[in-house]
Structures are given as structure tokens and as C-alpha cells.
Amino acid sequence: MRFNSGSFEKSVRRHYIIPRSMLKKHLGAALSTGCRIRNMIFTIDEKMKKLMLSGKIHTAHLTDCQIDYEGSLEIDPELLAEAEILPYEKILVSNRANGARLETYAIPGEPGKRRFCLNGPAAKLGSPGDVVTIMAFSLVDVDRAKHWVPRVIVLDENNEIKLRKGGPNL
């Protein structure tokens, strides 16, 4: 059943009522414990979003791999800022040497050291000297996505920036 109200923008949001009969079917255990739910109303934002590349560090050279660590990829915070990747943001790492791809998060290292260190189990997917690409993604409204340009930095063999491209997307 659909509930439309004239006070809401129809093109952006829709309101739905889930009848108790459907709730009972899907939430039977919760309802049998004495919960009283008549109907549930929820709102869906129908404005579609696209998952877009927002920041990329290209041709980074791994400097270390530490298996005895809880996990993540340590990255120089100056390079994180240049690529518009936040500390602890989820990242996708692609290893050019062996084809491995892994998801982890960016952990800030010591500024200026240009260190890229795979930690924990991810350390088994790389070796010092391997060339990796690090990517972060953001959800963007379709209208903005049509003109979206990710922030990309390209590094040399010493992990110094040799080229900046794209971004910022304000």
C-alpha cells in the first residue's frame, strides 16, 4: 500500500505503510514476544545515487608488509590528503605485481615518510616494492555524477607525487 501526501515532494520521497499482516509475516518472532506494532511507515529517498571513484593513489610502491598487525594499509597522511582520502576510509587496493585486490581501510602513518605498509592478513597479498593502486569511492547523486571528476595522484618510484589530476568536486 502506498501513502502519498501533498505536503511532500512526490519526485523525491515516497512514504509507504506496511500493513500489520505483512509485518507479522516478516517479524513474527518479535511480534509474538508482546511487541505491539500496528503499521510501520518508512520513507525512501528515490533520488538515485552512483558509487563513483572519489580518490586514487596510482603507482604507489609498497615499502613494508607487517603480518603481525590487526590490519589495514598504512599511508602517509600528506598523500591521503592530496588524494582526498580520509583516514580510516574504506579503500580498494589493487596489486599490479600479482593481480590481488583487497578491501581494507586507510590508516595514517608518519607524515613525510612516503610509507605504504600492508598490515595483518593483507600483508600476504603483497611484498615490498610491489606497485599498487589505492582507490576510494563515494555515493554521488546522479546529476552530480554526470560531471564528477575523481582526485588522482600519480607517484614515482620514491612515492613522491609526479602528477595531480581531477578534483575537487565541491
Going along the chain from its start, the domains and CATH numbers come out as 2-45 (no CATH), 49-165 (2.40.40.20)
Higher pLDDT, 24 or 64: 64
Q: Check whether 43 has a pLDDT greater than 60.
A: no
What is the model's pLDDT at position 22?
Answer: 62
Higher pLDDT, 159 or 143: 159
Mean pLDDT of 16-27: 61
Helix, coil or strand: residue 109? coil
From 16, 69, 72, 94, the catalytic residue: 72
The single-letter DSSP state of residue 62 is: P
Mean pLDDT of 112-133: 96
Is 105 one of the annotated active-site residues of the chain? yes
What is the model's pLDDT at position 79?
Answer: 98
Mean pLDDT of 131-160: 95
Indicate the average pLDDT of the chain.
83
Q: What is the pLDDT of residues 68-94, one digit of tens each?
A: 987 799 999 999 999 999 999 999 999
CA distance 30 to 43: 22
CA distance 87 to 77: 8
From 16, 69, 94, 105, the catalytic residue: 105
Taking a C-beta distance cutoff of 8 angstroms, is the pair 87, 115 a contact? no
- pLDDT bracket for residue 9 (50, 70, 90): very low
The 10 Å CB-count burial string (b at 16+, else e) for 7-33 is eeeeeeebeeeeeeeebeeeeeeeeee
**83, 56, 103, 89: CA torsion to nearest 10:** 20
Q: What is the pLDDT of residues 28-38, one digit of tens each?
A: 555 555 555 55
Is the model's pTM score more than 0.75?
no
